[in-house]
Structure 1
Amino acid sequence: MPWCTRREIREVSDQAQKIHDDIHRGHLLIHAHAHAGGTTVAVGTYLHRGGKSVYLHGENHLRQIADTFDSPAQALLAFEKVHAAERRPGQAPLTDTEREAIAARSVFDVTTAKSALVPAKPETVPIYLADAGDHDALLDTFLDAHREFEKWCTWSDDTTHAIHESQTLRIEHVHETSAYETAWTVAAYETPVSERMWVLTATGATPAPLLRDLLTHLADGEGWDTALGAPVNEKMVTAATQPLSSAGWKHTVDGRWIRWTSSDGNAGIQFDAFAAQHPSQNQATWTIWAGTSPDQGRPSWSITVSPQTPSSLLASLSEFLAHKTGTRQDQPRLRPAGSGGHRRPLRWPLTLTSNHGSGAT
């Protein structure tokens, strides 16, 4: 890639590494491959990302997605038209670079096997600093305990819906999201066919105990039938945040924003007085976060809530944040054999072993 800048080389190699990892982890299923123009081409389908099918071109650090298709059948048909004579089923044989990467990594795998693993010790922390836990297991447990909710899955199994028997409360959980993406959406309706009354979202790193409390509160049926159009007033705000005030969280007002911040500064709740005056738009009136506040960067996790969400639900979340604790698991460390110190585990990407390009990879 002599015509590429160093930055462009890194970008191409990074994309190739992601494709390699997706194949290795079983996220990208390769249907067929062929050799064409001195390189390898292949066609496959992602088992996530909406199940899209892709046409891959190139090898090692030059592999890239050259085209996408709506279905495996469409992708295979297009692949067959161009590469019928060279087409072979399944993945292509390993390249020399891939074999060299495996051999290099195996040396460190042996070292790791001989090392003593220092057990991770769980630490008790405020609930807003706790680990995310297993959200999928949390939803399964909830559905087993609350038969009034019916489970529905999308065709690709990327998303699970839990719908109350009344059809007026719907919970959506998107699997395999990042820590910062929306993983949960809860929506309430006045009737099964009416406009949405309120909506709540939570990102992928939200602590599971906090979500468990939220789902339990909803299952108890406490006030999700908020009257459509009811304005948010001072009494409702006070009721929703009383646990925080009682726990000594710092209360500040900055224009349209009213905030309550934990004493350690690692969590907070923000109320947007302007958005609260537009309940029909389902804007994020409340924001709950941990880590960096939303106005300063990207929080570790966040929950957003629209205006008409019941104050009893918000008060329950406030109570949990103010008084509950959870556990945070430190990452296990490796102690090399014959040494009293520690070393960080090494990751050997495929692109590091390539001899092509300008060496920027």
Structure 2
Amino acid sequence: MPHAPADAHIRFTLHPDHHPAVISTTSGSTSDAARSHLHDLGFRSIGPDAMVLARIDHEEPYYANTAAKQLSRNGFTVEIETALQDEIDTEWTWGNYPFPWCTRDEVREVSADAQRIHDDIAEGRLIIHLHANDGNTTVAVGTYASGVHRHVHLHGENHVRQVATAYEDETEAVAEFHRLYTVAVRPGPAPLTDLEQSVRRALRGESTPLPRVQFTEAQAAPPTVAGPGEHEEFLNALFESSQHWAKHRTWSDETTIASHENLTIRAELDHEARHRTDIAWTIAEYDGPVGERLWRATITAGTPVRLIHAITDHLDAPLPVDAADPHTPLEEAGWSVASHPARTTWQAPNRSVTFEHLPHAADDRWTAFGGDANRPAWSIRLSAGALHDLLIQLTAAAAELASPPPFAARRSPPLPRLPPPLPQPRARVR
């Protein structure tokens, strides 16, 4: 029997109140079939012609794109709004992810497992008996309605919640939970996190209520972001103003390499970097002209030029510093600090810039980023081995970036201004 034509039209847009949740609207004679497909792909109905995809891992754009491709293959007409398409094209990362060794695909697998646990609890397939706080996160014990090892201990919250241990007997699972967490054990499920509450409001079609505390503009300032072409202008000005850097050709016009005269430092700019998570700059220092790499910095496309300038200036002519630790300029500027055995985080008073130290990491030992940790507007990541004085100069520049004058003038002498670049032809010259 031939199938009916799939003449439904599906439009995907970002949710206006629950970013980055996605709303789908359907029209056409086969809308019911389209809505059935969308339900199987995680969308839930919030109206006669509207469905919503709201997740605890902020991966809605990725899964909406997957749904759009499947519906297109089934013959439906699919439209994706521009703002949502931009989110789909931007491969973002969690700024404070607790498993930094995971690849992007592995992160998505962990999040998908956490989403399934969340859905099982929300839809009654997993009943939580007890919960506790182990000092770092929430843990719980619960029972699935079916399955062999259906009594489980859960560890974590939101997008990193996992099944820690599975048991065949409920009594054993509950007794072991009491033994592990003793006086911290509380009956029933833990209170919903802010993210879980937001997701459930979106699934019910409710708007987000205003927070009780309204932050002033000074307390929640938007991060400073480099504009189009600023990185190229900075690179051109660097060559014009300093005799220490030389331009080198590459096999591709997509990149420019700047080599320091000491032959141990190299900076590479990718001119094709556009999205906020794209790496635009890679700067590295080596143990001699053909030696091993000592450290590396990666810088994304939206990073303010002021911070890149701080790095290159230190490599050219280090400023005298008297700080004992790299984070000293941040503490003097009144940044708040949160410490954990695996991570220490400093945040500017206006929350526009954050600086992190992961003492056990190799590639991303030090990280500075602007804006929300989950979707940073820009980031700078330095590996283990980054120079002590370089880090101090970078944190001083970050403190100046996030603080109004005259604070920065008291921290360190201002970095010299680069002269404006000479007029350049439209074509890139290497």
TM-score by length of 1: 0.49
**Greater relative contact order (CA < 8 Å, ≥ 6 in sequence):** 1
TM-score by length of 2: 0.42
Q: When you count strand as a share of all residues, which structure comes out higher?
A: 1
